[in-house]
Structure 1
Amino acid sequence: MNQLLLERATGAAGPNVFARLQTTRLLTTFQPAPQYRFDGGERGVAVHDGDASSADTASSIWAHQAGVSALALERFDGRILVSGGSDASIKLWNLEQCGNPSNPYTFKPVGAVRASAQSHKFGITHLSFYPFDSAAFISTSYDQTLKLWSTDEARLSASFSLGSKIYTHAISPVASHLLVACGTQHPAVRLVDLRSGSSIQSLTGHGGAILATAWSPRHEHVLATGSVDGTVRIWDIRRAGALIGMLDHEDSLGLYCNGLLGEDGKVRMRASAKAHTAPVNSLTWTDDGSYIVSAGHDNRIRVWDAATGRNTLASFGPSIRNSQLASVTMFTSPVGLTHPGRELLFWPNETEILVCDLHDGHIITRLRGTGAAVAGVRGSSKKSERSVKNRISSIVWRGAGGGGGSSGVVMGGTNMSGAVFSAHMDGQIRAWTPQLEGTDEDTDDEGTNLEGAEEKVRKRKALNDVYKSLMGQKITFT
C-alpha cells in the first residue's frame, strides 16, 4: 500500500489507475462482519445437534425465523434493504441506522408486511426494487401472485395473479416501459405491464418451467431467460415471435446466436442448442451489457459474449455447487471498479460465497463462516421446532455510495460501503465487508504492543524522509 501511495503522490499512477488498483485489492479481502446483526423481533432458541443453546443471546436472533428466501437492495444510495421469508413475511431495513460502522450494531426493521388477506400466502421467491425510484418494490411468491408495494408505508399498491407458481421476475434497469418478466411453472415467459395492470404478452419456446430472467442493461427490449430444459433464450420483445437467439455451450465462435435471418426469414440457430445439460436457474449480465453469465444444475457457470452468443469457455472448476430448484442470484463487480477484463463474479455456492475471476474462472477467495450446516429453531411450542439445511438463498451488493456501485470510487468508506449481504435459510442476514489496512490492532496480553507500533512509525518516517529528499532536491540546468 505504501508503494501505491508513493506512486500516486509522484504521479506514476493516475487517479483512475490508483482507484482501480485499490478497489481490486479490496474486492479480494472480504471478511465476515458478525458485528452486524438483523433482528426481526421473533423469539425462540437456536438448536445445534439437538441441544438448545439458550445461553447465547445472539443465537436467538433472526431476521426471519422461518428462513430468509430473498433479498433486494435499492440501487440509488443503498439505504433500504428488503428481505422476504419462507413464511411469506417481508421486512424492510434501513442500513443507515448504523452510525459508526466500526461498532457492533443490531438492525431492527423499519417496516414489515404482516400476514393479512392482501399479503402473500406462501414463501417469497424473489424481490426487486422499482428501477427508477426506490419508493416501490416488487415481490413474487409460490402463491402465484406478483405484488407491487409502497416502500415508505410497506403497503400494497397492486397485485397480479399469473395462475402458476412464480420462481423469479425481472424489470429492466434502463427501459422506458414498465414490463416485468416473470418466470413461472408454465413454460411461457409472462410479461406484466405495471402501467396497464395486465399480462400483455407471453414468450413461448421453452420446454419447461422458467427459473431465471434478466433484462439487458444496454438494450431496453432485450431479455434473457433460462429454463429447466437447459436452454437460455434471448428475446427482443418488439419483434413478432420475439426470439432472436439461443446460447449453445458447444459454440465457441458465436454461430447460432448472431440474430441473423436466413432466407426463410427465420433466425439462424441450432434447434438442439443448450446452454447447460441441466436446468438453468441463474442469469445475470455485466452492467455494461457485454457479457451474459449463466449457471445450472450441471454445476457449471458459463460466460457468454452478448454480442455474438459465443461461449467464452471460462472454466470455474469442480468447486461449483448448485442443487436448489429455485432461482439463484449472482452478480459481477461493476465495470470500472477493476481494470478492463478483470471483473469479478460473486456466486452463492450453497454454504459459501465464491469470488471468482469472471473471464478465466479461477477462484480468488471463499467467503465462509455462514453458520451451522444444519440449522434448527425451537419456538415456544413443540410444533414450531424445525430443522433445515443452511444454504445461501440470495446475495446483494452495496457499492460505495449506493447499491449499484460507482465506477472509479474507492470502496471501504463509512456506512458499510462496499458490503455484501447474504440471506440464509437458518433465518439470518449476514454482512461481508472488505478488510481495510490498519484495522487489525497489534495487541499482547497486557494491552497495545507499543514495540510494534513504534516500528511502524519508524518505517513510515523513513519512507517520508526518502520521499521529501527526492522531491525537495534542487535541479540546476546548465
Structure 2
Amino acid sequence: MLGYLTARQTGLDDPLRLKRAESTRRVLSLKLNPDRDVDRIHGNGINTLDIETIEGRYMLSGGADGVIVIYDLENYSSKTQYTCKAVCTVGRSSRHVHKFSVETVQWYPYDTGMFVSSSFDKTMKVWDTETLKPAEVFEFDGNVYSHHLSPIARKHSLIAVGTTNPKIQLCDLKSGSRIHVLQGHRAEVLSVRWSPRYAHILATASADSKVKVWDVRRAAGCLFTLDQHNGEKSKASSETVNTAHNGRVNGLCFTSDGLYLLTTGTDDRMRLWNSASGENTLVNYGKVCNESRKKLQFTVSRGCSPEFVFVPCGSSVAVYALHTGELVTMLRGHYNNVDCCEFHPDYQELYSGGKDCNILAWVPVLRTPDMEEESNQEKKGAAGPSAVNPAFQDTWSSDED
C-alpha cells in the first residue's frame, strides 16, 4: 500500500489506481457480517433489491408476499453491531399494496422521492416516497416480470416493461401512458435492461431463448439478436439459430461502462457479450446453477480491476472474474435459494435476498494473519475454488512492501 501512496504523492501514478486496488481488495474480502442485520419484514421470499445512487443510503426490497420495504443502511449508533431498520413499509394493511408477488423495484435514478414497482398482479406502480401512495398505475394484460428505467436518460423518461405478452411495452412517466411497443420475441419477456452508456439502447431477454438489443429511436425492428455461435453454421447451431441460450433467458446485466452485456439462462450458463457488436466473447464460467423460471437479479462490481460478477447460485452467491470466467469464491449464508443481489459501489458491499425471507449484508473485512492461514487451509481442503484465488491477491499485496 505504501508503494501506491508514494507513487500517487509524487505524481508518478494515476490517482485512480489506488482507488481501484483498494476497491478490488475490499471485494475479494467480502464476508457475511455478523454485526449487521437487516430487519426481517417479509413473510415470503425476497425477489428484488435496489440501492439508490444519490446518497447510497436507502435500499428497496420487494417480496413474493407483495410487500415493499425501504431500509436505511446508515449506522447512526456508536456500536459496531447494528440493524438496518425498515423506515417505510407498504404492507398487507395498505389498500395500495400489490395483490401478488412483487418482481422488480427500482428507485427513480435522479432523486429518492419516487420509485417504481411491478408485480404479478399485472400492474406497475409509480410511488411517491413521502406519502407511500402510487402517483401512477399502469395496467397490463399479463404478469409483469421486469421493468427498468434508464439510469442516464435526459431526453426521455421511458420505462421498459416485460410481461407474459411477447411485446415489450414502453411507458412514458411524463404522459402516464404506454406510447410504444417493441415486437420480435415469441414468448414472455423475463428481463429488460437499459444500457448505462447509451440512453436509447435497450436489451431484452425472453423465454424463447433469445436476447434482443433495440434502438428505441428506430421504428423498424431490433438492432440485432444475440447468437451464442457467433454466426457459425454448424449442426449444433442450425437448430437454434440466433439463440443466446439453450433455455429460458431470465437474467440481464450490463457492465458499469456499458461495453459488455451479461446474460443467464436456465441452461445453467452465463455468457458475456460485446454490447456494440453482439459478439459472444466465449468466456467460460462453467456451470452456473439457475433453477428460476422468472427473472434472476444479479450484479457486477464497479471500480475494480478486474471486475467481478455476483450471481445467485442455489443458496449461495457465486463470485466470478468478469473477463476470465474464473470462480473466485462462493458466499454462503442463506438457508434457501438466493433470488437477487445488489452491489453497493460506494462501500463495495453486497446485499442478497432469498426464499428464506432474509436479506444478508456481505461487507469487506480486514485480513489478519489468522484469516490468511484459515483461507489457505480452506483452499487446500476444497475440491473447487471456494476461497479467494491467490492470482487476484496480487492486485494489492504485490505493492504492500
TM interval, shorter chain, is 0.7 to 0.9
Structure 1 segment 352-371 matched on structure 2, within 5 A: 352-370=316-334
Contact map agreement 2:160 2:171 (CA 8 A) in 1: yes
Letter in 2 for 1:352: S
1:238 Cα offset (Å): 1.2
1:306 is aligned to 2:275: yes
TM-score (norm: length of structure 2): 0.85
Counterpart residue identity of residue 102, structure 2: I
Structure 1 residue 203: deviation in Å?
0.8
The equivalent position to 1:391 in structure 2, one of 300, 321, 337, is: 337
Q: Secondary structure at the match of 2:295?
A: coil
Question: Deviation digits for residues 42-69 of structure 1, max 9, x if unmatched?
Answer: xxxxxxxxxxxxxxxxxxxx23122222
Q: 1:250 to 1:77 in 2, by over 3 A?
A: same
Contact 1:420 1:433 in 2 (8 A): yes
Q: 1:432 aligns with which of 354, 358, 362?
A: 362
Aligned: 1:232 with 2:232: no
2:24 corresponds to which residue? 24
Does the 8 Å CA contact 1:252/1:310 hold for their aligned counterparts? no
Instruction: Give how far 1:6 is off.
Output: 6.4
Look up the SS of the partner of 2:223 in the other structure. Answer: strand
Give the aligned residue type for 1:185.
Answer: T
Structure 1 residue corresponding to 2:299, chosen from 331, 334, 357: 331
- Residue 13 of structure 1, CA deviation: 5.0
Q: Check conservation: 2:160, 2:192, Cα contact below 8 A.
A: yes
Partner of 1:414: none
For structure 1, the residue ranges without an aligned partner over 5 or more in a row are 40-61, 254-269, 373-389, 401-416, 442-466, 468-478
Separation in 2 of the partners of 1:77 and 1:394? 22
8 Å CA contact 1:252, 1:312 repeated in 2: no
Name the count of aligned residue pairs. Answer: 365
- Asked whether the 8 Å contact 1:125–1:140 carries over to 2, the reply is yes
The match for 1:421 among 337, 348, 351 is: 351
Which amino acid is the alignment partner of residue 35 of structure 2? Q
Contact 2:96–2:133 at 8 Å: present in 1 too?
Answer: no
Residue number in structure 1 paired with 2:263: 294
What is the rounded CA distance, in whole Å, between the counterparts of 1:149 and 1:110 in structure 2?
A: 15
Look up the SS of the partner of 1:196 in the other structure: coil
Q: Does structure 2 retain, via aligned residues, the 8 Å contact 1:328–1:394?
A: yes
User: Are 1:200 and 2:146 counterparts?
Assistant: no
Q: Which amino acid aligns with 2:202?
A: L
2:379 matched residue in structure 1: none
Q: 1:12 to 1:300 in 2, by over 3 A?
A: same
Q: Distance in 2 between matches of 1:203 and 1:14?
A: 44
Using the TM superposition, name which of 137-146 and 349-358 deviates more.
349-358
Partner in structure 2 of residue 141 of structure 1: 119
Aligned match for 1:170, one of 148, 154, 162: 148
Equivalent residues of 2:23, 2:348 under 8 A apart: no
**Which residues in structure 2 correspond to 1:45-194 (within 5 Å)?**
62-100=40-78, 103-115=80-92, 116-176=94-154, 177-194=156-173
Residue segments in structure 2 that go unaligned for 5+ positions in a row: 233-238, 372-400
Contact 1:280 1:295 in 2 (8 A): yes
**AA at the equivalent of 1:392:** V
**Aligned mates of 1:201, 1:325 — CA distance in 2:** 27
8 Å CA contact retained: 2:310, 2:318 = yes
DSSP 3-state at the match of 2:296: coil
C-alpha separation in 2, matches of 1:183 and 1:157: 21
Give 2:126's aligned amino acid.
L
Q: 8 Å contact 1:356–1:362 — kept in the other structure?
A: yes
Could you say what secondary structure the match of 1:121 adopts? coil
Q: Which amino acid aligns with 2:145?
A: Y
1:247 counterpart = 2:226: yes
Amino acid at match of 1:65: G
Moved over 4 A (4+): 1-14, 437-441
Q: Give percent identity, aligned residues only.
A: 35
Query: What is the CA-CA distance between 1:435 and the residue it aligns to?
Result: 1.4
Shift of residue 215, structure 1, vs aligned partner: 0.6
Tell me if structure 1 keeps the 8 A contact 2:301–2:345. Answer: no
For 2:175 and 2:9, the matched residues in 1 are separated by: 57
Partner of 1:278: 247
- In the TM superposition, what is the alpha-carbon distance from 1:5 to its structure 2 partner? 5.5
Letter of the structure 2 residue corresponding to residue 228 of structure 1: A
Q: Distance in 1 between matches of 2:186 and 2:352?
A: 32
Write the letter of the residue equivalent to 1:107. C
- The aligned amino acid for 1:331 is T
Distance 1:6 1:217 in 2: 34
CA RMSD of aligned residues (A): 2.4
Alpha-carbon distance in 2 for matches of 1:219, 1:271: 29
Find the residue that maps to 1:346 and give its secondary structure: strand
Aligned to 1:413: none
SS at match of 2:280: coil
